[in-house]
Amino acid sequence: MSQESIRVFVGCDPNNSDLEQMMVLDYSIKKHTSSPVEIVWMQLSRDPESFWYSNPEKGEGWDTKKWATPFSGFRWAIPEYCGFEGRAIYMDADMVVLSDLNELWNHPIEGQGVVAAKTKDAITRLCTCVWDCQKAQNVLKPISQLKADPEGHDKLMKQFKERPELITPYIDSYNCIDGEDLEIKDIKILHYSDMGTQFSHKYSIPRLEKEGAKHWFDGKIMPHPRQELSDLFDAYYQEAIDAGYSLENYRVEPFGVIPKKSHKRYKGNKITRPLKSGLLSKIFKR
């Protein structure tokens, strides 16, 4: 399968919290990918003509109040955005690409499958996935319905978990969650998924404070347990700057207050925050 360019859709914050993530992801994609890449940054917009339009004050456009991030439900809109033609890759912004995206772009999507994604340990992860946009038309709800339903994202996640035939599994390391148990050389796409330990916080939070703004993540910030992965992000950040990339290339007019879930009780994942041993832990299975 081939197209003139690889289409990559990235979910990101509309208030400039994710500039560092966007720059590093953009640079890492182009550093490793041998084909042209077209990136669509999916961000909430106040523009009524935008596909990502939302006006929570008037109850118009995307209803995000049940979302965990400012972009959770956008991944389901990609096939319709593409006119239900060809393929499209979806990614969260918190990724570092360490391989040629051609490999993922051309991954088979077999049988009844409409998307290629990670299904390790019976957990469906659509935070990096490849859509067959034409086949997805028969499965996904029209965007007009999805954007008006604040629980639409959760409903579709449940549907895909209950129908595993819709997903063609790919190599786990295309969505390597916080390093898992892999060495860097074996990771194809690093997803620094724990929102409390993200490498970009040490850049973005001080920057936002100077700008009089706050990050959309309102949970506890803590160090990532694998320093070499943090160092990898730092290296790519500096390489991007040295190559002429700039945070200002990704800045947009801020959207404003985003109705969404709070992360005050966010617990991360078992990779960055291993279960504690001890009697109480065993009793309560934590």
pLDDT in tens, the chain (286 residues): 444 799 999 999 999 999 999 999 999 999 999 999 999 999 999 999 999 999 999 999 999 999 999 999 999 999 999 999 999 999 999 999 999 999 999 999 999 999 999 987 556 789 999 999 999 999 999 999 999 999 999 999 999 999 999 999 998 899 999 999 999 999 999 999 999 999 999 999 999 999 999 999 999 999 999 999 999 999 999 999 999 999 999 999 999 999 898 988 899 899 999 875 444 444 444 3
Give domain status of residue 178, yes or no: yes
Query: How many distinct structural domains can be found in the chain?
Result: 1
Task: Give me the CATH number covering residue 45.
Answer: 3.90.550
**Residues contacting 251, CB < 8 A, separation 6+:** 16, 19
Q: Which residues pair with 233 in a beta bridge?
A: none
Q: In terms of pTM, does the model score above 0.85?
A: yes
Q: How does pLDDT run across 256-270, given as a tens digit for each residue?
A: 999 898 988 899 899
d(CA 149, CA 140): 14
Backbone angles phi, psi at 160, to 5 degrees: -70, -30
**Parallel/antiparallel/unpaired status of strands 167-169 and 60-61:** unpaired
List % helix, strand, coil for the chain (3-state, nearest 5).
Answer: 35, 15, 50
Give domain status of residue 1, yes or no: no
Tell me what pLDDT residue 158 has: 92
**Residues contacting 66, CB < 8 A, separation 6+:** 150, 151, 153, 154, 260, 261
DSSP 4: S
Tell me what pLDDT residue 1 has: 42
Q: Which residues pair with 95 in a beta bridge?
A: 191
* Domain housing 200: 6-284
Token duo for residue 120: 């390790």
Backbone angles phi, psi at 67, to 5 degrees: -80, 150
d(CA 92, CA 22): 10
Give domain status of residue 168, yes or no: yes
Tell me what pLDDT residue 286 has: 38
Give domain status of residue 177, yes or no: yes
Tell me what pLDDT residue 234 has: 98
Give domain status of residue 29, yes or no: yes
Tell me what pLDDT residue 182 has: 96
Give domain status of residue 89, yes or no: yes
Give domain status of residue 165, yes or no: yes
